[in-house]
Amino acid sequence: MTTLDSKIQAALASASDLPDDITEPNLASDLIDTLHGRHSWLMKWGLVKMAFAIILMFICAYQFFMQETTMAMIAYASATIICVIAYATVFLFIWVQMNHNTTVSEIKRVELELALLAKALKDSAS
């Protein structure tokens, strides 16, 4: 964090009515919030697909080394690559949803600050 960031944090803390115990959630709580969010069924289905892709990937990788023909090795190598792509796709989708939820919570925090500012301005005008 730069000195400018720390000055901004200090100014906001002194001028804000928000409680000081608001902390940034860690990665595990972000994932749990995503799994209990608006599209929880889709996230849970994605985790099932990830688990299936990992299991199938290990099976295909093992079978790749057990094969004697080149054609079978190519087939199992291709299946392993497809499983890796499926895993990466689901992982990226869940990661984007986690970032979306973080952005929404930051916007809500800014809305709360604006509401408090509007209330303070209204009280000082009266």
pLDDT per residue over 69-78, tens digit each? 999 999 999 9
In a domain, 90, yes or no: yes
Lowest mean pLDDT segment, chosen from 9-13, 110-114, 120-124: 9-13
Q: Please give the tally of structural domains in the chain.
A: 1
In a domain, 41, yes or no: yes
In a domain, 8, yes or no: no
In a domain, 11, yes or no: no
In a domain, 44, yes or no: yes
pLDDT digits (tens, 9 = 90+) for 65-118: 999 999 999 999 999 999 999 999 999 999 999 888 888 888 888 888 888 888
- Using a 10 angstrom Cβ sphere, with 0-12 exposed, 13-18 middle and 19 or more buried, the burial of residue 53 is buried
Question: Is residue 19 within 8 Å of 112, Cβ to Cβ?
Answer: no
The domain containing residue 90 runs over which residues?
26-125
Spatial separation of the C-alpha atoms in residues 126 and 114, rounded to whole Å = 18
In a domain, 47, yes or no: yes
In a domain, 31, yes or no: yes
Spatial separation of the C-alpha atoms in residues 58 and 49, rounded to whole Å = 14
